[in-house]
Amino acid sequence: MKSVKNFILIVLDSLRQDHVSFYNKGEPRFRGVKACSTPNLDKFAKKSVVFRNAYPGCLPTIPVRTEWLTGRFILPHRGWRPLDKYPEDIALQDVLVREGYKTALITDTYHLFKPEMNFHRNFHSFQWIRGQEYDAYRSNKPVKRRIEEYVNKNYPEQWRRRVSQYLSNTEDFREMEDYFPARVFTAAIEWLRRNVGEEKPFFLWIDSFDPHEPWDPHPEFDKYTDPNYEGPRLIMPMGGWAREWASEEEIRYIRGLYAGEVAQVDYWFGIFMDEVEKLGILDDTAILLSADHGHPLADHGKFLKGRDRLYNELLKVPFMIRHPELEHSVVDSIITFADVAPTVLEILGLGNNTYFMGGKSFTHILEDPNAEGRESVIMGYFDPIDRCIRNREWTLIIRPEGMPDELYNLQNDPYEKKNLIDERRDIAVSLLGRFGKYFFREKVSVKGIQEKYETEYTAV
């Protein structure tokens, strides 16, 4: 596989793997919600090397991006914090600028452009698209959108303020082009049009906050909710046990909104890829598309990300690499996000810059889909006790003292419903032993259910 000239990294925040129809073959994930259709992501997948088992290490948003850019294992060291000054953190764009690349970042992921976050460092061009989620973009209360139409009676004042901020930020949205995915990918198209003709190679990072909540798709894409639903438009679900603040009808409706948001992102990604093809750069450009993590939709009782939700719905993401010399294939080998930066550099013919990185290039898997990757991975949030260790067959979730650990067979039980921690304690002990004590916040051992613990959740 020869090196290419340019690289485009596309991040779709909070996109679950099972909501990309290439992966799920069009099967609905939830009763009462149609399967999400993603024709443009599917088209891209059919021309890419597609990974089924690409995993984050340290969650959520900011730690994941630190892993991608630095090629380092973040979980044992730090959580949500800025990109450190060079050379404490040597990031992908730092290397590429030294190697003569033009670099650009286009994003509406507002966490990246908060003061001192520093993720725009060494990008020749960075464009912030304002107004997502709780971005402090507008200070007035919403005038055209009534808060009462977007919350139910169980929303406390804190959550009402959060929803209100988003409504203020977006109350002028009318046309499809006003919505965030449209603005992000349109800005990326404009950047390419202005820069493709120059001699310098380029690295373009497109970071779309959608389909992260709030799930407020344009009506054109709101096709997955019940048309007979008459309740509030719950675009921003709360944490905690969903059944304590939402009805079954509302839970289904929220899931439908998420599917609509995914469809909206898929549409504008397709517009972007059509333009990339017209510009004639696919013969010398590699494109990586992924998500930082998925998103729980009360699969195990709760919405939103959280340290206690280390299941497939949060951990399994779409991961695809299109390279002009590679044929389509589907890969089961395991990789982790710390492996992305060294792989990008090798694809660009700059592998001699990867020596300081903890991650390992997986270009050998791109060339041979049957090649082996990592034997297992460990995932979690930096501060909490909870950790997830998994290989291709098993997943072990380590819980704090006072709670049973969880062990699931991913091949026989992909929805992770039957905890086998007592039946296959040997598997749990083996998985736990793959990673040293420094990966954990306290001393851990395998804790069963029948000994003295009881399962504490009921799946929705």
User: DSSP state, 68?
Assistant: H
Q: Strand pairing of 377-381 and 58-59?
A: parallel
pLDDT of residue 451: 53
Residues 235 and 315 placed together within one structural domain of the fold? yes
pLDDT tens digits for range 225-243: 999 999 999 999 999 999 9
10 Å CB burial of residue 36 (0-12, 13-18, 19+) is: buried
Contact 47, 326 (CB under 8 A): no
Q: Is residue 444 included in any domain, yes or no?
A: no
The answer to whether residue 303 is domain-embedded is yes
% of the chain with per-residue pLDDT over 70:
98
CATH code: domain of residue 407: 3.30.1120.10
> Using 50, 70 and 90 to split pLDDT, how confident is the model at 444?
confident
Other CB atoms closer than 10 Å to residue 47's CB: what's the count?
17
Residue range 48-69: mean pLDDT, rounded:
98
Q: What is the mean pLDDT of the chain?
A: 95
Does residue 459 lie within any of the structural domains?
no
Instruction: Confirm whether 204 is domain-assigned.
Output: yes
State the pairing for strand pair 319-322/285-290.
antiparallel
Same domain, 305 and 423: no
Number of helices (H), then strands (E), in the chain: 11, 13
pTM equals 0.96
What is the DSSP secondary structure assignment for residue 407, as one 8-state letter? E
**29 DSSP assignment:** S
In this structure, is residue 456 part of a structural domain?
no
From the centroid of its chain, how far is CA 370? 25
Query: 457 in a domain, yes or no?
Result: no
Number of domains making up the chain:
2
Based on the fold, state whether residues 401 and 346 are members of the same structural domain: no
In a domain, 214, yes or no: yes
Quick one: pLDDT at residue 197? 86
pLDDT at 380: 97
What is the β-pairing status of strands 102-107 and 377-381? unpaired
pLDDT tens column, 383-439: 999 999 999 999 999 999 999 999 999 999 999 999 999 999 999 999 999 999 889
Structure-block tokens of residue 383: 């501060």
H helix or E strand, kind and range, residue 380: strand 377-381
Q: Among 336, 367, 398, give the residue marking a domain's end.
A: 367
Q: Both 182 and 94 in a single domain?
A: yes
Shared domain check, 270 and 392: no
Whether 117 is covered by a domain: the verdict is yes
Q: Are residues 193 and 247 in the same domain?
A: yes
Q: Cα angle vertex 50, ends 459, 272, to 5°?
A: 100
The answer to whether residue 457 scores a pLDDT higher than 90 is no
Instruction: Based on the fold, state whether residues 105 and 211 are members of the same structural domain.
Output: yes
Contacts of 433 (CB under 8 A, 6+ apart): none
Residue range 242-255, pLDDT digits in tens:
999 999 999 999 99
Shared domain for 325 and 421, answered yes or no, is: no
Same domain? For 322 and 411 the reply is: no
Pair 426, 458: CB distance under 8 Å: no
Axis crossing angle, helix 248-279 with helix 180-195, rounded to the nearest 10: 10
Q: Which helix (H) or strand (E) holds 106?
A: strand 102-107
Domain harbouring 34, CATH code: 3.40.720.10
Tell me: do 299 and 338 sit in the same domain.
yes
Nearest to 364 by CA among 49, 71, 68, 69: 49
**Measured CA distances, 330 to 54, 266, 316, 440 (Å):** 12, 20, 15, 33
Angle between helices 61-70 and 340-347 (to 10 degrees): 40
**Taking the CA of residue 38 as centre, how many other CA atoms within 13 Å lie in the half-sphere pointing to its CB?**
31
The residue type at 274: D
Q: Do 296 and 404 belong together in one domain?
A: no
Domain that holds residue 261: 6-367
My answer on whether 412 and 343 are in the same domain is no
- Nearest Cα to Cα of residue 373 among 381, 385, 382, 365: 365
Instruction: Note the Cα 455 to chain centre separation in Å.
Output: 28
